[in-house]
Amino acid sequence: MKDYQFMQEKEMINQPRHPLGTRTSVLLTSVFGPFARDDEYGSRKINPMELYQNQVTRVQGGFSLRMFHRSFGLMMIQANLEAPCTLLDFPTLERFIEEIQNHTYDVIGISGILPNVGKVRKMCQLVRQHQPAATIIIGGHITNKEGLDQMIDADIIVRGEGIRWFQRYLGQDDKVPIKHIAALSGFGTRIMGIDIGSPGGTAAILVPSVGCPVGCNFCATSALFGGKGNSIHFYETGDELFAVMCEIERKLKVRSFFALDENFLLHKKRALRLLELMETNNKSWAIFVFSSARVLKSYTIDQLIRLGISWVWMGLEGQESAYDKLKGVDTRDLVKTLQSQGIRVLGSSIIGLEDHRPENMDAIIDYAVSHESVFHQFMLYSPVPGTPLHEKHKQDGTLLSEPEFSYADAHGQYRFNYRHKHIKDGQEGQYLLDAFRCDFKINGPSLLRLIRVLLNGWQMHKDAPKRIRDRFAREVFPVRSAYAGAVWAIRKWYRNDQHIAGQADKLLRDIYATFGWTTRLIAPLIGRYAWFTLNREEKRLAAGWAYEPHHFCEKNFAARLFEREQAAKSKKEIYREKNKNSSNVANSRGGVTAIRWLPGGSHRARSVDIKNSPLVKPDILVKGTGDQAP
């Protein structure tokens, strides 16, 4: 940790500064789309800009959770800059070109991940073509790639945390408190062909820290922010975090938060102080977190419930894996306990660990599926640049070269980017699909599991103190109507699958028993509509339909002010030019030009003899050289 701090201090001393300081005009942008297709820039149909469809509910068809997530890192940087800053998120290539053709920027910052190398290269080329004077800065996970500076035409490559870096670069005080964004965690949410992306039901994003001190050997996020033993806290204390959450609640009218923090509960002092403040101020919040199993076990169930932990993304990795975060923890029992309390679990398992072989792959998949978590992510064991795992394979000489394996395919859902000891000839891709399909076949749609856990939570805590009961009442509310209809539709959809239909039927009966006749009457009506939309969605997907995020263009206050000033300046220049042209006309005739401005900025002008003209009080009189003004 001391070495990392020393490196940070050294970088601060040597960091470049832009000569314009806070007058620098900045463009921040994500890479361009579309994303869910195969193209020459590195887009892959198998790797859409949808986290769940990409890595979690990949084979669930119309039951897959479809949603997009903003580029929160860029948003946080923009929110903390005093300089004029425009943010483009998910632009098309044409939209990016339009932006750099029509607006001049001093700095253009591009963020990406390793599969985006081709897109970042293209964007750098376009900037050089249209704005050769602009400084190009590259950030994000792509910066961990060795030799990146030889692959793209950029001026500065920034590894690690970008908010403080940009503040120093633009001459700002990098010791002031971090300003948090007020933004929802997702948009464009759909399931069963139904748009469920209403803002009121979406959690706000919360970024307390970046990096993870646990430092698993494959973790790119940990590596980007200092590796094992290091993390960066934007909000060190529970008091700071509580104040931020209150402000987000006020602005967005939300009561749920998605904590984008690799191991939120690891910082126990902060978490327990937050709990204390939530109880003192009667905050019935729901918090969605990432957490390791051992850290979860360090809290009592009572503490987790009171803190509002409603959803957990937890690394299961694999049976008998050697990671410290799993030692001494029965993860199947932990998942069962959490979900019995209404806490939804997204378990994450790895395919292709060192000891994985074709002969034990069925058992590996069966173990993962036996957790019965609401969601389950499966990823290939992939050495990402910057991680200890990548360094090990580099030393061993087992990494594949670029001609053997394209960077565009290094997303963990296709093939290994190295030679595995036991798994050969691309078998890993099939094993990955087998894992997704097995989980879907045995445990059914994630939506069905989600509704069961929501019902568990209400049944367990409906008699809890009001602050806690209110949260569970909010979470279970859709089960009384919309979700009951979804279960009805799922039962009908699986009418020829006794296993899943039986699960759906039992759940529906439990819902009816809990909520009574109103739900019993409503469910078939909603269910028939959900059945219709599900059929329509399945046909669309079978025909090759893909979802793409719409683009965003957002300007901070300084950028909006700068644009108004530029517009005013342009009007003055036009005004002067028109006066100059009118004067020239008058001079050529030896008279005075009368100019009357018309709506929309147009005008008419004519040269007259002022002594003999009936023209009275023209809007502007421009003196000509041949006459004296009266």
User: In order along the chain (630 residues), what is the average pLDDT of each group of 10 residues?
Assistant: 54 85 97 96 94 96 96 98 98 98 97 96 98 97 95 96 97 97 95 79 94 90 90 96 98 96 95 98 98 95 98 90 85 97 97 95 96 97 94 96 92 95 95 98 98 98 97 97 98 97 98 97 97 97 95 96 84 67 52 35 37 35 31
CB 553 within 8 A of CB 98: no
- Report helix, strand and coil shares of the chain as percent, to nearest 5: 50, 15, 35
Confidence (pLDDT) at 401 = 93
Angle, alpha carbons 46-48-52 (nearest 5°): 100
Preceding peptide of 614 cis, ω within 30°:
no
Q: Are strands 187-191 and 66-68 parallel, antiparallel or unpaired?
A: antiparallel
Residue 54 CA to residue 63 CA, distance in Å, equals 14
CB-count exposure of residue 221 (10 Å: 0-12, 13-18, 19+): middle
CB 416 within 8 A of CB 352: yes
Residue 227 CA to residue 385 CA, distance in Å, equals 12
Confidence (pLDDT) at 574 = 64
Domains by residue range for the chain, with CATH? 203-439 (3.80.30.20), 450-542 (no CATH), 578-622 (no CATH)
The one-letter amino acid code at 141 reads H
Residue 389 CA to residue 367 CA, distance in Å, equals 24
CB 621 within 8 A of CB 592: yes
Confidence (pLDDT) at 320 = 73
Confidence (pLDDT) at 26 = 98
Residue 454 CA to residue 486 CA, distance in Å, equals 14
The upper half-sphere exposure of residue 325, i.e. CA atoms within 13 Å in the direction of its Cβ, equals 23
The upper half-sphere exposure of residue 341, i.e. CA atoms within 13 Å in the direction of its Cβ, equals 22
Global pTM? Answer: 0.88
Instruction: Assign residue 215 a region (left: φ > 0; alpha: ψ between -120 and 50; beta: otherwise).
Output: left
| Sequence-ordered strand ranges (E) for 135-283 | 135-139, 156-157, 187-191, 194-195, 204-206, 209-210, 232-233, 256-259
Angle, alpha carbons 470-252-257 (nearest 5°): 55
Confidence (pLDDT) at 442 = 97
Closest CA to 431 of 380, 474, 484, 498: 380
CB 364 within 8 A of CB 318: yes
The upper half-sphere exposure of residue 349, i.e. CA atoms within 13 Å in the direction of its Cβ, equals 30
**Residue with tokens 């030009």, as numbered in its chain:** 593
